[in-house]
Chain A
């Protein structure tokens, strides 16, 4: 195992980090948007005129995927993969970048799923009364806070790790 990791080297670990951020963020948002979308489709069958509102609500749990993507993108940027000449990262630097991606990945995974549930419940609020839209959005945004914090820490770490 040790040898395997040593063979992989720093760059592979950095890429693994980017993968974790993007994959987990993506899963979180996929499940979240999926949950919200199912409820939303139910609302739209009964009240097609609420499609616009439902669409906005459905988009809310989608941000986790974007945060994950952003951290992944930052890794691509700081390691120089995008410009074509990747930096020769040491094993330690690789690990640092890998761990830096975890806060965003895990926070986005779980907050995406749960924000999806809250948003799905919010769809019912909108189904009953249009004017609850704002309240439903704020309730949903409460869950997103923790994805934002995870993203913030991951982004700061990736910025400040010395390469």
Chain B
């Protein structure tokens, strides 16, 4: 129900028991090791070497999994993850020769990269040579003779005629052959007299003649292109072959995943060893332990060895222990929210149980549709029963299931049933309220015709939550901190807020006849604030001034409370979208022949959309009200998470025996 106390301890164990010790600590799972290796470094680097070795293997398996994932068979949605007991994981990981698989993966990857590089080079070559394939001379002849040279190049077709004229102008002893014309490019082979080369090139440059290079080979270009094609085919075959191999290897995916998790355990253990303090024969281990589990650890160690000593260490000044929050399994889904914000500090309260009621109520008020609530409850209940979910998703789904239940109740009170209007419903589902309005059974209030009542209720709930938050801080500070400060800092505000609440109730006539009391209560509280809030200032004027200024805090309380008006807005949004969907359904239903089909599709699709988008909105906004409006009254947050040495799994689910 709250923050679990954590103890700082020191454990000394002879090094001979290293393996057993790590095993025990990891299985124990509630001991966080602090780094003391700087004060007492290890004499040799054997452990470091071992750690690096395991780390390398871990990275290799990770690489293999990543490489093989696209080739693995897709599993059905309902199949769920691999589920094994810890012993089974260990056995499977030890039996499986992952190193062979990793090596094969490496080889295949190398071959694939090589083939792909070659392919892209070959394709480039092919692309640039193909336009010249009609060249009638052998490639070795392109070097020219003693007196003649050959220039191959590309010119823009529109410039061709002018270029030809210019070439002729330079020297009559020039032969120009048009090899091909493709798009706007014309491919030319020019044979020229070497004496005129300089002038000719100058003339050509003016027409943006781009020179092309052909391969240094013998025979016709056509034949050369054929060898390129053969190489391309060869490389493509290699790729296909290697991919086949990958598909075959991917059948080992499950084993690889088991190995990956198993290596992860080893890696974490060896990582922890790096943090141990060392003497010649003993490990000195400092760390945090859940206080109530200390005897359990001692028992576990006793079973292995007597050569250890365990003692509690005093906290250093300003040292902040890590934070563990623990709630009953009924409450634990709400931890999702607490963790979303960040853990409370070690000396603050765990807000989980307090926010739970408000969160789920606000969530329901934002949805206010009993139909949606029932659908959500059914969907999440089925998911919990038939899907294998991780710890985190399980909590979230369970939270949504609670949300579904409460939404169904609140929705019924507000008369939300898939956006239907009560007047259009069969009579046995409705009744006529005292105001003459037709309502669903169970319905007490209609938020569309009477939004003001809902607004007042929303603000009232907001006031209540903020009051609760203030009193929580008062009680917590009074118990754990300076009693005088608690009363003067928080108590005065609690008194003020209660007074205002009382005054509003009397003014609204809920508590009749005590208006005078309410008025004096508020005046007294105001004076109290003025007197207490400036008490740390030095002179009397500054004291009173900052006391009066503190009254400005009322504005922030007011804006906090007004923020709860979103409950009405989001509730209305759900209702009106539902209404809009039904109007469109009606219109579609009037179409001849297939109208009913359209209507059915729009009804289901539209309401599903509304449900999803508004569940998201309700969750976020109800959460925000907890984080921003509620938490700020009594906690800062920012506690460090307790991270014990344990067996963490990425892929495999642990089956509990």
Contact = CB atoms under 8 A, between A and B. Distances in A.
A pairs with B:
yes
Interface of A: 56, 59-60, 62-63, 66-67, 69-70, 73-74, 77, 82, 131, 133-135, 137-138, 140-142, 144-145, 148-149, 151-152, 155-156, 159
A138 B577 contact: no
B577 A137 contact: no
A141 B621 contact: yes
A74 B583 CA distance: 12
B569 A138 contact: no
Contacts, number: 76
27 contacts: A56-B616, A60-B620, A62-B613, A70-B577, A70-B580, A73-B579, A73-B580, A74-B576, A82-B583, A131-B339, A137-B620, A138-B340, A138-B341, A138-B620, A138-B623, A140-B620, A141-B624, A142-B624, A148-B566, A149-B565, A149-B569, A151-B573, A152-B569, A155-B451, A155-B569, A155-B572, A159-B448
Nearest to B623: A138
Contacts of B580: 69-70, 73
Given A60-B616, A82-B583, 6 more contacts: A74-B576, A141-B623, A141-B624, A144-B621, A145-B563, A148-B621
Given A134-B340, A142-B628, A159-B451, A67 B573 contact: yes
Interface in B622-642: 623-624, 627-628
A149 B339 CA distance: 28
Contact of B570 (A59, A74, A77, A148): A148
A152 B583 contact: no
B235 to A, nearest CB: 27
Contacts of B628: 138, 142
Interface of B: 337, 339-342, 448, 451, 563, 565-566, 568-570, 572-573, 576-577, 579-580, 583, 613, 616-617, 620-621, 623-624, 627-628
A66 B620 CA distance: 16
Given A70-B577, A135-B340, A141 B620 contact: yes
A63 B576 contact: no
B576 A73 contact: yes
A55 to B, nearest CB: 11
B563 A59 contact: no
Closest 9 CB pairs of A and B: A134-B340, A152-B569, A141-B620, A148-B569, A148-B566, A70-B576, A73-B580, A141-B624, A137-B620
Contacts of A137: 620, 623
B583 A138 contact: no
Contacts of B565: 148-149, 152
Contacts of B339: 131, 134
A22 to B, nearest CB: 12
A73 B579 CA distance: 9
Nearest to A156: B451
A69 B340 CA distance: 31
Chain A residues touching B, majority SS: helix
A152 B342 CA distance: 31
A116 to B, nearest CB: 16
A141 B616 CA distance: 11
A59 B340 CA distance: 19
A138 B625 CA distance: 10
Nearest to A63: B617
A59 B613 CA distance: 8
Contacts of A133: 340
A155 B513 CA distance: 37
A85 to B, nearest CB: 15
A149 B580 CA distance: 21
A62 B342 CA distance: 27
A145 B570 CA distance: 11
A152 B569 CA distance: 5
Contacts of A149: 565-566, 569
Among A60, A141, A159, the one with the most B-chain Cβ atoms within 10 Å of its Cβ is A141
Nearest to B568: A152
A136 B573 CA distance: 23
Nearest to B572: A155
A69 B576 CA distance: 10
Given A138-B624, A148-B569, A66 B577 contact: yes
A70 B339 CA distance: 34
A88 B195 CA distance: 96
B613 A66 contact: yes
Contact of B616 (A59, A73, A131): A59
A138 B631 CA distance: 14
A145 B342 CA distance: 22
A151 B617 contact: no
Contacts of A70: 572-573, 576-577, 580
A117 to B, nearest CB: 17
A134 B565 CA distance: 22
Contacts of A144: 621
A8 to B, nearest CB: 26
A129 B580 CA distance: 39
Contacts of B341: 134-135, 138
Contacts of B572: 70, 152, 155
A56 B623 CA distance: 15
A20 B621 CA distance: 26
Contacts of A148: 565-566, 569-570, 621
Contacts of A62: 613
Nearest to A154: B569
A19 B80 CA distance: 48
Nearest to B336: A134
Contacts of B627: 138
Nearest to B452: A156
Contacts of A77: 579, 583
B624 A66 contact: no
A145 B562 CA distance: 11
B105 to A, nearest CB: 20
A102 to B, nearest CB: 17
Among A66, A67, A140, A159, the one with the most B-chain Cβ atoms within 10 Å of its Cβ is A66
A148 B448 CA distance: 16
A77 B341 CA distance: 41
A142 B448 CA distance: 26
A102 B624 CA distance: 26
B573 A66 contact: yes
B528 to A, nearest CB: 32
A102 B339 CA distance: 39
A63 B569 contact: no
B569 A151 contact: yes
B583 A145 contact: no
A144 B339 CA distance: 22
A77 to B, nearest CB: 8
B423 to A, nearest CB: 13
A89 B415 CA distance: 31
A62 B577 CA distance: 14
A38 B71 CA distance: 29
A131 to B, nearest CB: 8
Nearest to A132: B340
Contacts of A131: 339
Among B342, B569, B616, the one with the most A-chain Cβ atoms within 10 Å of its Cβ is B569
Given A70-B577, A145-B566, A148-B566, A63 B613 contact: yes
Nearest to A140: B620
Contacts of B624: 138, 141-142
Among A67, A152, A159, the one with the most B-chain Cβ atoms within 10 Å of its Cβ is A152
